[in-house]
Amino acid sequence: MTKLKFPADVVTLSIDIGGSGVKGALLDAHGTMISEKQRIETPYPCPPTRLVDTVMELSALLPGFHRVSVGFPGLIRDGRVNFIPSLSKSTLEGEVDPELVEQWAGFHLEHALNTSFGVPVRVVNDADMQGCAAIKGKGLEFVMTLGTGCGTALFFDGRLLPHLELGHSMFRKGQTFEEQIGNAARREIGKERWISRVLKAIEVFDQSLFYDHIYIGGGNGRHLKDIDLAPHVTLVSNTAGILGGIKIWGPDIH
């Protein structure tokens, strides 16, 4: 891969694509936010071309960047979409639309955005990007994002491991982690029962991964702020999904 050169004062447009909103901000070379965070509602239905248009609409509010980092809510490999749970639905909490699944499967999102922006773009899973801002770089660190669904990322000694959609593995009662602790479940069963499920999910992930530390983020992570969590559990700000946009350009990420 050709090593890209950027100015010492490089400005990065960092974008976090979520099931309910597309958020972005400008970051300086040190990862400090140098603009107000902007947000646009995620449109539905959202085929690839509509998402690209939405990202470009957001970028018009944040001019003056040299490169773009994008956190995407699905499995990304070599810039292509391999698995996309949320944006393959016709509505935010609706059923999966086979036509949208077909349109997203194999779509080269990184190339499409490179072409639209005209500057270098990197696209990674959104939990991976959030984890880049959250981890300490020591041992096996696990990231779980609680938002529309349940995102996951794994790091070992600061190096991002190959992305696995662990949120879509079986959890309990014949349902996946995503189905049991996603936003739809929280709204259906109420905050108290949902928190109980999340604590159980933390325990189950620990029993299978044996991680040294877990970082919990995403919009619904705030519901755990008053809970007495174990020492190896850390809540992180939802802004980490944007702040990780600097580190995905590092040698241990891409």
- Residue percentage of the chain with pLDDT more than 90: 89
Residue 166 has pLDDT above 90, yes or no: yes
The highest-level CATH class for domain 136-241 is alpha beta
pTM of the model: 0.92
Task: List strand residue ranges (DSSP E) for the chain, in order.
Answer: 12-17, 21-27, 38-41, 67-72, 75-77, 80-83, 121-125, 140-146, 150-156, 159-160, 170-172, 175-176, 213-217, 233-235
62-92 pLDDT, tens digit each: 999 999 999 999 999 999 999 887 899 999 8
Q: What is the mean pLDDT of the chain?
A: 94
For the chain, which residues make up each domain, given as ranges? 12-128+243-249, 136-241
What is the pLDDT at residue 94? 86
Q: Which residues, 6 or more positions from 233, have their beta carbon under 8 angstroms from its beta carbon?
A: 202, 213, 214, 216
Given pLDDT bands bounded at 50, 70 and 90, which one contains residue 250? confident
2-13 pLDDT, tens digit each: 578 899 999 999
Given pLDDT bands bounded at 50, 70 and 90, which one contains residue 98? very high
CA–CA gap between residue 144 and residue 166 (Å, rounded): 9
Given pLDDT bands bounded at 50, 70 and 90, which one contains residue 238? confident
The CATH classification number of 12-128+243-249 equals 3.30.420.40
